[in-house]
Amino acid sequence: MNVRSLIAIALVALAGPALAQAPAPSTSAKDAVKADKEQIKKDKEQVKTDRKAGNKDAVAADKQKVKADKQKLKSDKQAAKQEHKADKASAKTGTAPSASTTTK
């Protein structure tokens, strides 16, 4: 075997599995909203814990984190709404009969 054959075989052997891998599933907006809600719950619990411990600096930091998470939740809810509208519109256009094909 010559060097070119070996290089070609190596490329095929390495590139095949890499190209065959399925793309990572994208997180839907609904999943992001659920994750944000859970994170806010955890942050609120942390605020309560820090208050009981008397740690004012940590309470202030946790409140800022809750605020940031709420903003992220709001944007994710808007994204979920847009995603839902897009899905609904694509389903509606794909199944609805057109007016020109309907005959009486």
Question: How is residue 21 annotated by DSSP?
Answer: S
Report the predicted TM-score, pTM, of the whole model to 2 decimal places.
Answer: 0.57
| 40 in Cβ contact with 70 (< 8 Å) | yes
Per-residue pLDDT, 52: 94
**Whole-number Cα distances in Å, 89 to 62, 74, 75, 77, 78:** 40, 23, 21, 18, 16
Render each residue's pLDDT in the chain as its tens digit; 104 residues.
Answer: 677 777 777 767 767 666 565 444 456 888 999 999 999 999 999 999 999 999 999 999 999 999 999 999 999 999 999 988 888 888 877 655 555 555 55
